[in-house]
Amino acid sequence: MIGEPDAEEVASAKVQFAGRTAGRAGPPLLFAGGVIVAWYLVAEILPESKRVLLPKPHELWTEALARQEIRDELWKGLINTTKVSLMALVIAIGLGVLIATVMSQRHFVERALFPWAVVLQTIPTLALVPLIGVWFGFGFFSRVLVAVLIALFPIITNTLFGLHSADPAQHDLFRLHKASSITRLFRLQFPAALPAILTGFRISAGLSVIGAIVGEFFFGRGAKGLGNLIDKYRGILDVGSLYTTIIISSVLGVTIFSVFTWLMKAAVGSWHESLAENS
């Protein structure tokens, strides 16, 4: 049939795809393997009295995941933390883009609000957590609020930077055609800002998980998340379960980051060179 690829072309395409996949996945897997080897070596050379503080990787299964009650706790904690993280990320995206957009349209608003955004970022979140608990309780809303506070700033700064990065000559062209500020915003500034906005989203995707765990760690009431479990296992010196919970928390952050990156690429494609290079 005309246009149908022959076997050699199909085989070549498969080889190229396998090469690209190996090129992307190979270095992280090699680094992970090196970390595991180093983990075993350090655990082996530790004094006998301190080996309990650093169980070997395979011992995480025998000390934690092999126990049904621990697996159930970890699964429920993972679900609860994921809910808080995703809700906080959605709210942070909405608020961050809205605030940055308003700031980009009026220099007075930017000068008035940006210093306070910096102040919000520099205030130690741990100092605010007890106040948030007193004001709003210790439930789901307070945990989401803590995560939003941690994840908000990168979205504001990256979106604002991106909206200001549009080519001045393009601004002049739009003014020459008497385009309104709304038209310039949606047809010039947002397309130019998209790579920077996506960068802010990806950063905040990981920070939302950190914020959720911080809130859970200090808010002992309500549904148990991974942060609650970290505090629990720390208190009872269940080192194997503690390490397992920390690893699961890290995997959750990486997963949300990766999924969010994939969704962004699926939404905008590879039209911009910064996205094409990383695809």
Judge if 168 and 183 occupy the same domain.
Answer: yes
For residues 179 and 68, membership in a common domain is answered with: yes
Whether 46 and 67 map to the same domain: the answer is no
pLDDT of residue 279: 47
Q: What is the CATH number of the domain that holds 106?
A: 1.10.3720.10
- Report the number of distinct structural domains present in the chain: 2
Eight-state DSSP code of residue 50: G
Using alpha carbons, select from 230, 223, 215, 209 the residue that is nearest to residue 133.
Answer: 215
Shared domain for 140 and 224, answered yes or no, is: yes
Domain limits for position 94: 56-278
Q: Are residue 83 and residue 195 in the same domain, yes or no?
A: yes
Name the percent of the chain lying above pLDDT 90. 22
Q: 204-221: b or e for each residue (b if 16 or more CB lie within 10 Å)? A: bbbbbbbbbbbbbbbbee
6 in the same domain as 79: no
Say whether both 4 and 124 belong to one domain.
no
pLDDT tens column, 178-206: 777 788 888 888 888 888 888 889 899 98
**Quick check: 97 and 197 in contact, CB under 8 A?**
yes
| Tens-digit pLDDT profile for residues 62-72 | 777 778 888 88
**What pLDDT, on the 0 to 100 scale, is given for residue 213?**
92
The string of pLDDT tens digits covering residues 108-138 is 888 888 888 888 888 887 788 888 888 888 8
Query: How does residue 243 score in pLDDT terms, banded at 50, 70 and 90?
Result: confident
Whether 225 and 97 share a structural domain: yes
Please check whether residues 47 and 64 belong to one and the same domain.
no
Lowest mean pLDDT: which of 47-51, 141-145, 256-260?
47-51
Helix (H/G/I), strand (E/B), else coil: 279: coil
Q: Do 234 and 199 sit in the same domain of this protein?
A: yes
Report whether pLDDT(60) > 60: yes
> Quick one: which of 20, 28, 27 has its CA closest to 279?
20
